[in-house]
Amino acid sequence: MMMNKIEYWTVSFASLLHDIGDFMTQDQISPVNKSSYVHDLLDEEKCNKLSKFLDVEIFKKLLLYFADPENSKDKCEIEPYLRFISIAEGFADNDGGTSRKSGENHVYLDSIFSRLDIGNGVPEIKRYAYAPLESGTIFPGNLDKGEPIHKLQQEFLEHWELALAEANTVEILYQMVQRVLERYTWCIPKSGQLGITDISLYDHLRLSSAIAACLYKIQSENPQFDTCQIEDASLENFILVEGDFSGIQKYIFSGASEKHGGMAKKLRARSFVITSLISLATRSLIDRCDMPASCILMNSGGNFFLLLPNLETTKNILADFQREIDSKLFGIFQGDTALHIAHTGLCGRDFAHFGDKIQEINERLAVKKRQPYSSLLQKDDCWVKIQSFGDAAYGNELGICKGCGREFAEYKTDDGAIGWRCKQEIEIGRQLVQAKAITLVRSGEGFLSLGGWSVLLYRAEGEVYALKSNDKDYPIATLWRHANHVPIDQGARILTFEEISNKSSGTNWLGYLKADMDRLGMLFAVGFRNETDENFGNITRVASLSRMMEIFFSEWLDQYIEREFPECYVVFSGGDDLFIIGPWNRVISLSIQIRKRISEFAGNNPNVTLSCGISFSQSRLPVTFAANSAEHSLSRAKEEYSFLYSSNRDQICMFDHVVKWKDIDKVMNAAEKIIRWIRESKLTIGDVRRMREYAAMFERYTSSDGKDIGGLRYIGLLAYDIGRKESEKRNGMDPQVKRFMESLRDISQNSLIHHLSVICDYALLMSRKKEG
């Protein structure tokens, strides 16, 4: 049976806007006309524009019903459409089958982190101010009023009108409206929540629309489905799809040497390539399944989740798409990188315990990851021989690409012969410096193409995406959240790693920072359970948590670095992890600020923590080695238990030493004091080097759990040093220096002796002259 497209999009739009009254009447205590805002949204001119895409009469009657159901005169006429929206809303709000609704309309939205707890307790509730969604507005506070809500309402109406004027397809209009809703209703609480009001109106609307679209699609293709089957929460009417890229870092860092092919440009380009391929995959799948953009539940960090109708056509599309992308990606990456897709059935009850379904599909995806490119290896139960390159490639006179070492060279450059892929990456890196927007077009041509869609790094006829949320030239364009800051000179040329290292203080080394969230999987799976094991982890909260995390890492952090740490290079940042290269001392400062700001972002929730690993090297060291070293440091920060504390994680590892974040300020303050005393000739480099030796002695004592008491010999040696310096100085040692050195004889938990190696290493590097 052919689906009625006009009806389908009418239901999709009506469900996307059905509760917009929670926002439009937020400042009205007892509105005389509850539905007046509907007439503002749908005056005659706007209805004329919408009539190209929707059944405007039904659409308006649906919105009028939700605005004032008690006085609706059209319920019988709109009942068939109303059913889809009402069922979808119930599934989206499902909290384990328990009635948790109240008649109360709350003023402010509580932080999505307010109830997250995996054993460390919950924080004082913080709330979001009324403000458009931009990187600086995502930090909750104590009932900040922010901008008056009527200003947001007015801007929403203006951008709604702009979307109607600019959209030339129903899909683009839907994306624009979803973007406008996110911008203005992300901070508005959905009405009727009981207790903590942490579900935003935006997330409620987009999830309701995704579910309603699936339900309509199911019934249109299965006319035998009656109302009872659509409402039945035990039937698996939905499919949850997860896609995940493997081999991302292997691809990004392959052949990562500064010598060949402009590595500073290529690292940025490779990160963008992965983001593009993921977004192209999601766009292609919802297009082939004919679903709205709201069915992309989550898309971050090389991973995505889709909600699709449980139909045979859907399953066939997924299988065909896996074969298609396997062929495409194998041709580009020769098996180093793969996109794995898994799916599982989903019933209405599952929306209430969505974290459980994520765990289930993760297990299925793990099996898929152990069988990369299986669709190419077997056909009709027989093995298929795969040849990575065509026969002509093996006679190539230029040999292997000097840039990546993973393909045959095709082009001669000043840095040596490079392959087609490396040439494309260099060009992408160059274009990204100037890009303000990108366009998705229906095309299978080019490097940045997948599933019949391609990315253009400029504005063109197609689906336009803005790269920054605060770009006034693209106020209603869908956001392409991708951290892409790179240091540039006045001529907009990307700095080389050697030039970045020269911006360091002290020695001109680079710092490589890797970080990710601690136990994020656990937060998603069980973080919304309370002490009585009630599970609040429904689909809306889980999707909201993912969206907010992506905004922090892909949007806020990128803009923060551009503003405060412009000399740092964001290789990638998204989902829950990051990799940043910069001047060694600035990378340390940046890591400290990221940890502080993520705590503020999470409303000081003690369950939301970050671990970091930093490695240091000269700029000549290939990035691959430095990244592996940073990864090793990150692993230590996550897994290593210090002598002082019984818990791991929530730590930073640098200079081959693990420090709890709670101690980092006093450690860095001590290091800055030593640097100042060296400059004031109150300490010598030799003094600091001896203290560094004493730190190594003490670490032998702590690493043996106190059994190697020979490590405590440093106490006597340190006392000798203090006495010697006292006798050398006519007026004795500086009192502050003396107190500091004497404090190192204390081996109790709060003593700086536990982190003296970091203090000394930092001070020595800051005091060293630049090389070259």
Structure confidence at residue 97 as a pLDDT band (50, 70, 90): very low
Single residue among 441, 473, 505 that ends a domain in this structure: 473
Are residues 44 and 182 both part of a single domain? yes
Single residue among 231, 258, 281 that ends a domain in this structure: 231
Mean per-residue pLDDT, 307-333 = 95
Q: Please give the residue that has the higher pLDDT: either 106 or 489.
A: 489
Residue 130, classed as helix, strand or coil, is strand
Structural domain contains residue 577? no
Structure confidence at residue 230 as a pLDDT band (50, 70, 90): confident
User: Can you list the positions of beta strands (E) in 347-469?
Assistant: 378-379, 382-383, 437-442, 449-450, 453-456, 463-466
Mean per-residue pLDDT, 659-673 = 96
Are residues 223 and 260 both part of a single domain? no
Are residues 278 and 342 both part of a single domain? yes
Structural domain contains residue 638? no
Are residues 256 and 200 both part of a single domain? no
Q: What is the pLDDT of residues 321-372, one digit of tens each?
A: 999 999 999 988 888 899 999 999 999 999 999 999 999 999 999 999 999 9
Mean per-residue pLDDT, 432-454 = 91
Beta bridge partners of 723: none
Q: Does the pLDDT of residue 201 top 60, yes or no?
A: yes
Are residues 282 and 424 both part of a single domain? yes
User: At a CB cut-off of 8 Å and minimum separation 6, what does 448 contact?
Assistant: 273, 276, 277, 280, 428, 454, 455
Cα separation, 625 vs 56, whole angstroms:
60
**Structural domain harbouring 452:** 238-473
Cα separation, 414 vs 520, whole angstroms:
45
Are residues 256 and 379 both part of a single domain? yes
Report pLDDT for 731.
75
Are residues 134 and 39 both part of a single domain? yes
Nearest to residue 487, comparing CAs of 563, 592, 589, 579?
563
Is residue 520 within 8 Å of 576, Cβ to Cβ?
yes
Q: What is the pLDDT of residues 451-482, one digit of tens each?
A: 999 999 998 999 999 998 888 899 999 999 99
Structural domain contains residue 586? no
Residues 417-426, buried b or exposed e (16+ Cβ, 10 A)? bbbebbbbbb
Structural domain contains residue 438? yes
Q: What is the pLDDT of residues 148-162, one digit of tens each?
A: 799 999 999 999 999
Q: What percent of the chain has pLDDT over 70?
A: 94
pTM, whole model, 2 decimals? 0.94
Structural domain contains residue 179? yes
Structural domain contains residue 170? yes
Report pLDDT for 396.
66
Structure confidence at residue 246 as a pLDDT band (50, 70, 90): very high
First to last CA, the chain: 74
Please tell me the total count of domains within the chain. Answer: 3
Nearest to residue 85, comparing CAs of 60, 112, 63, 108?
63
Mean per-residue pLDDT, 618-643 = 90
Are residues 297 and 211 both part of a single domain? no
Structural domain contains residue 615? no
Nearest to residue 664, comparing CAs of 646, 686, 637?
637
Are residues 153 and 247 both part of a single domain? no
Are residues 227 and 242 both part of a single domain? no
Are residues 215 and 255 both part of a single domain? no
Are residues 291 and 431 both part of a single domain? yes
Q: Does the pLDDT of residue 145 top 90, yes or no?
A: no
Cα separation, 588 vs 652, whole angstroms:
10
Structural domain contains residue 386? yes
User: DSSP characters for 521-584?
Assistant: HHHHHHTTB-TT--B---HHHHHHHHHHHHIIIIIIHHHHHHHH-TT-EEEEEETTEEEEEEEH
Is residue 633 within 8 Å of 514, Cβ to Cβ?
yes
| Average pLDDT score, the chain | 90
Single residue among 421, 442, 473 that ends a domain in this structure: 473
